[in-house]
Structure 1
């Protein structure tokens, strides 16, 4: 069983990876809060591509390419959504919810988002608590989670965690420990791998502990914090952790789990997060393309959507800008896996880069997005005012290493999808 668990661990390749240390630079301080007056409250409506300066013919080509990949058996199914200027100009479903089964994906199919959780739940919830004065970005994590101070981590800030610069390794899993509290303690005591703030290293462990800290500070579980402050006010009714059995027929299955002995459906595919109950800061959120588009439109609007005021504009700007001046794109954007791990980051968000971004090569330089390890992607291009969402049930690469991460991206064609969206813009 131990060998099976090690084989299934999607981050085995990443453990102990040499970090890229560079000269640290101080992050800019959070600006004063902006008034809500004048904030864009655009809500998504349906329309034609030509209504917002896009080509129907070129957009159909984008969707046809997804269909071809599904027909070729590269992944079982998908939904895709494209919006511009608040207008949904394309929303399509492809293939099957379960490989080899006659269960067609529909527009409201719910997907396991894996690491998109870091933005949709954890980072957004953390900033909501900053807005309420419950936590502070420059405060030490140990103020809210005292056990985190072990092994010289007492000065690491909430901001360091959110920007993937806390000094922690990519992960530190304890699948052979049955007691959850012991697992959490062992994770919190994980030693540093590099000096905080001097580098970037994408880390599930960091965000898992960040979710734990949010729950401790708020006195509510992470699911409740995100649900009451983000998803509920936005009407994201299909966004949740641990979909109840009544919804499982709407959920797309991911891959087979050797540890569990069945194909995973309605449960987070990551084994450690499943073992901890499915509600963590790094993985576990399930959602639909439309719910994700609503969230992205809220960010594009500057923190509001319709009548819901979710995050102050200054917090949204802080969330999506480069928070990691200690690293450069030129030095770190050298392969798909290093793009994920080492390139400049926002708070939760990945930032677009020119070579190996999952958002392709044609988004504008200020674009931001997030990939999920089972084959899900969202990107926002503020210069074109475009939102693109591509959700598949490819499942986690097996094993999770540089080669298989690249193969998954190539199989899904996420770069082709986002390049095609920009190609559909007239002029």
Structure 2
């Protein structure tokens, strides 16, 4: 890696912090399993004076979908406790309605279950009742016919995992993924003692306070903070560890978490009926409709939040509060950018598109690729 070019990448992040585009950030770049750059910028709170440090913990929002949910589902498959072609209704008896008997675990993993993008019930206080209503949501399209990113799908997938594992999603992911990998700063529902290490995100109009140490998404907070959609907190180093495990075929530092075939399937295009040229037409459309793996976003050439210079076959995941990481297997490259920008309010297409531009994630990953010297 070119040290000079990496310094340019970090300088651009620092400038965005100085321009008040987001309060703080941590960036980490690794190649061939070695960290080549790891920097912290700004503050943990907007307008505050608590500097972000390399071990600052961030609200990862939808990065939860790969770091907790999709990986846990595949570990359950590996353990023989669940199959990819199992019908969802086997684990969620309330998952009934026209066509829903055909929805499989694999359909949920690849965002092709037929469910809408979201269906929230913030006015229902009972957690089990919320999940029952979510499970009863009618399909919008036949399962396995298109990709449509769905928070609702992953909330329900978290419940599928809990039924199959006979354990909470938190307990299962911690025991089978995070602890074996040494990801000791990765967790749901951080305790109060950990809050000083956590970067605050945005203001919650529902909670009437700036959110710090609590998942910012209102539905997942109302559900207790442990969910298949959002809720995981972590550091850049822990995220990079997880990424390296996937890059190395399911193993890290001599510990195998996932079978190599399942690890490869996780990041392969699992929605071959989805055409990139028809769906990669804006940042929001890219998130919602472009080809997907099991939980992962796959690199496309135009509006990917990973920029335009990653190699085909690259994969990554973004979190709505301003966190993102991508893996380029051809270059053996991992890059992580965690910020405390906070969720766009309201969460609509113009504000999502603006978030992508504000983060400068494309500039970040393009700069990291530009710092690569050779491909060996």
Superposition TM-score tier, normalisation by shorter sequence: over 0.9
Structure 1's consecutive aligned runs of 4 or more residues displaced over 3 angstroms after TM superposition are none
1:351-398 per-position Cα deviation (integer Å, ceiling 9, x unaligned): 000000000000000100000000000100000000000000000011
Note the residue ranges of structure 2 that are not aligned, 5 or more in a row.
Answer: none
The normalised TM-score by structure 2 is: 0.99
Q: Do residues 70 (structure 1) and 17 (structure 2) align? A: yes
SS in 1 for 2:101: coil
2:201 is matched with 254
Q: Do residues 175 (structure 1) and 118 (structure 2) align? A: no
1:214-246 per-position Cα deviation (integer Å, ceiling 9, x unaligned): 001111000011000000100000000001111
Matches within 5 A, 1:212-223: 212-223=159-170
- Offset at residue 406 of structure 1 (A): 1.2
1:82 is matched with 29
Q: Distance in 1 between matches of 2:101 and 2:122?
A: 26
Of 177, 182, 190 in structure 2, the residue corresponding to residue 243 of structure 1 is 190
Query: Max radius of gyration: which structure?
Result: 1
| C-alpha contact (below 8 Å) 1:151/1:190 kept by paired residues | no
Q: Do residues 195 (structure 1) and 142 (structure 2) align? A: yes
1:112 is matched with 59
Q: Distance in 1 between matches of 2:33 and 2:162?
A: 33
Q: Distance in 1 between matches of 2:181 and 2:84?
A: 24
Of 88, 102, 107 in structure 2, the residue corresponding to residue 141 of structure 1 is 88
- Offset at residue 151 of structure 1 (A): 4.1
Q: Distance in 1 between matches of 2:64 and 2:97?
A: 26
Q: Distance in 2 between matches of 1:123 and 1:149?
A: 23
| C-alpha contact (below 8 Å) 2:56/2:197 kept by paired residues | yes
1:167-208 per-position Cα deviation (integer Å, ceiling 9, x unaligned): 000000000111111111000000001111111100000000
| C-alpha contact (below 8 Å) 1:255/1:269 kept by paired residues | yes
SS in 2 for 1:390: strand
Matches within 5 A, 1:311-330: 311-330=258-277
- Offset at residue 273 of structure 1 (A): 0.2
SS in 2 for 1:78: strand
Of 161, 171, 189 in structure 1, the residue corresponding to residue 108 of structure 2 is 161
1:60 is matched with 7
SS in 1 for 2:159: helix
1:265-310 per-position Cα deviation (integer Å, ceiling 9, x unaligned): 0000000000000000000000000000000000011001112110
SS in 2 for 1:248: helix
2:43 is matched with 96
| C-alpha contact (below 8 Å) 2:58/2:339 kept by paired residues | yes
1:298-334 per-position Cα deviation (integer Å, ceiling 9, x unaligned): 0011001112110000000100000001111111000
Two-structure CA RMSD over aligned residues (Å): 0.7
Matches within 5 A, 1:405-416: 405-416=352-363
Q: Do residues 205 (structure 1) and 152 (structure 2) align? A: yes
Q: Distance in 1 between matches of 2:99 and 2:353?
A: 35
| C-alpha contact (below 8 Å) 1:151/1:189 kept by paired residues | no
SS in 2 for 1:348: coil
**Between Structure 1 and Structure 2, how many residues are aligned?**
374
